[in-house]
Each structure stands twice: as structure tokens, then as C-alpha cells.
């Protein structure tokens, strides 16, 4: 087994554990932290497979923008502050262990001899050709994703208006 195969299996295991912890945590903020750890692992896999742009996009778009959006949604829904109390050591231990594994793997990948890597063939294309390929061959999945995003937007607007209406009714009841 090569070092890259070992790194792949460790990363895959960490991604599975982090994702599992993200869906089993009761605290929403902890779930988001574990999901970010999972996204960082996916980015490392992309980098390991020779796609540094996809790795950067994974971190920028998913670990950055999408998770910040989730945090704003949690704040908008006003999660009970008692569930956001300062966590003790046993709650920090899994996230810290997974983070240390990522740091070790990143150091290992960066410090390896670049001559030992197999060179991947560069695939270049113009954005117009890529867009035509994407929208001709995969038009249905793109439309499904756009429809799901529209449903999410409508749901967020509905929740925001319902929250504002409930707050107004509470204020009127207090008067």
C-alpha cells in the first residue's frame, strides 16, 4: 500500500466519522462544526486526486459560504441559548482528534517528494464548451437542483415571516 492509499483511507474514515457525528449531535452548532470538518476532508481528497481548484472551491463555497448561511439560519430561528452553553472537554475531544488527523495528513501530503507522484493529464476546455456540455447532457439534474434551491428559498422566507408574525403577536399580547 502506498502512502497515498493510506492517506485516502484515513481521510475517508475521518469524513465518515465527522459526517456521522454531524447528523447525530443535538446541538446545531456542533453539527455544523462537524460538517465543516467533513467538507475539509472532502477538499483534501480532491487535492489528493490532483484537483486543487475543486479543493479550493469546496472550502470556499461549502465550508465557508454554506456553513455561514446555516449559522445565520440557526440564529434566525433563535435556538435556545441553554443549548449553546460552553461545552466541556468530552465534547471538544472528537472535533479536536479529527482536526489533528487532518493537520497530520496535510503535512504529510505537502512534504512528500513531488517526484514520486504520478502526473495527471491536464484537461483544458473553454467555459463555453463546458457550459454547453453541462446544459445539454445534464439539463435535468440542473433543473432539479435549481427547483430545490427555489423551494429552500421559499421555505426560508416563510419561516422568517412566520417568526416575525409570532414576535409581533407576542409583543401585542404583552401590552
Say what the pTM is: 0.53
If one compares 160 and 16, the residue with the highest pLDDT of the two is 16
- Give, in order, the Cα–Cα distances in Å from 23 to each of 26, 27, 139: 8, 10, 31
- Grid coordinates representing 21 are 457525528
Residue 120 clears pLDDT 70, i.e. is over it:
no
- Helices assigned H by DSSP within the chain: 3-24, 28-48, 52-57, 67-76, 89-111, 127-137, 139-174
Cell 461545552 belongs to which residue? Answer: 87
Per-range mean pLDDT, top range of 18-22, 111-115, 171-175: 18-22
| Per-residue pLDDT tens over the stretch 69-92 | 777 777 766 655 555 566 677 777
Positive or negative: CA dihedral 133, 136, 138, 144: positive
Average pLDDT over residues 48-60: 83
pLDDT in tens, 135-169: 888 888 888 888 887 887 788 778 777 777 777 78
Q: CA 175, CA 169: separation in Å to the nearest integer?
A: 10
User: What distance in Å separates the CA atoms of residue 124 and residue 109, rounded to the nearest whole number?
Assistant: 25
- pLDDT tens figures, 17-51: 999 898 888 777 788 888 889 999 999 988 888 87
Q: Which residue has the higher pLDDT, 153 or 9?
A: 9
pLDDT, residue 82, reads: 58
- The more confident residue out of 18 and 96 is 18
Residue 36: partners with Cβ closer than 8 Å, 6 or more residues away: 63, 67
Amino acid at each position: 500500500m502506498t502512502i497515498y492509499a493510506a492517506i485516502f483511507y484515513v481521510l475517508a474514515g475521518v469524513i465518515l466519522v465527522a459526517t456521522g457525528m454531524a447528523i447525530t449531535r443535538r446541538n446545531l452548532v456542533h453539527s455544523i462544526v462537524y460538517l465543516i470538518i467533513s467538507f475539509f476532508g472532502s477538499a483534501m481528497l480532491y487535492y489528493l486526486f490532483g484537483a486543487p481548484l475543486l479543493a479550493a472551491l469546496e472550502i470556499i463555497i461549502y465550508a465557508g459560504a454554506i456553513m455561514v448561511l446555516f449559522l445565520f439560519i440557526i440564529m434566525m430561528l433563535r435556538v435556545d441559548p441553554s443549548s449553546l452553553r460552553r461545552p466541556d472537554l468530552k465534547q471538544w475531544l472528537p472535533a479536536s482528534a479529527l482536526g489533528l488527523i487532518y493537520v497530520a495528513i496535510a503535512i504529510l501530503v505537502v512534504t512528500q517528494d513531488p517526484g514520486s507522484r504520478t502526473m495527471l493529464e491536464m484537461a483544458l476546455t473553454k467555459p463555453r464548451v463546458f457550459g454547453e456540455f453541462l446544459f445539454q447532457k445534464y439539463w435535468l439534474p440542473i433543473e432539479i437542483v435549481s427547483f430545490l434551491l427555489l423551494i429552500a428559498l421559499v421555505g426560508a422566507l416563510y419561516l422568517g415571516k412566520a417568526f416575525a408574525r409570532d414576535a409581533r403577536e407576542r409583543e401585542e399580547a404583552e401590552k
